[in-house]
Amino acid sequence: MRQEHNKLVRDRIPEIISKSGIEYQTITLSEQEYQQALRQKLIEEAQEAATANNADLVIEIADLLEVVDALLKSYKISHHKVLLEQDKKRASKGYFDNKTMLLWTE
């Protein structure tokens, strides 16, 4: 039975599917399509991390970071630049160490 996926997959997934004897079809995305697919994958992986149990959380965070790395590479953004932005945000707005939840403002 045919199952539609229409999502970005890791490079070795077609090889793994092929070894299983399953028929499949892939396409190669343009750079613009790839960047959009990465953004969608970021959402997918973030949702999986958000709902993961404690035992699987590290696996889902690793997947999320893999997508972030691919986004940085595609957009030619250095890790250093991201870390600088992170430092700026921490300096101006802080960390999450205090576990503060904003309930309301008026």
pLDDT tens digits for range 44-53: 999 999 999 9
State the burial class of residue 31 (Cβ atoms within 10 Å of its Cβ: 0-12, 13-18, 19+): exposed
Amino acid 1: pLDDT = 86
Average pLDDT over residues 17-37: 96
User: Tokens standing for 16?
Assistant: 């793994």
Amino acid 61: pLDDT = 98
Average pLDDT over residues 24-53: 98
Helix (H), strand (E), coil (C) string for 50-96: HHCCCCCHHHHHHHHHHHHHHHHHHCCCCHHHHHHHHHHHHHHHCCC
Amino acid 30: pLDDT = 98
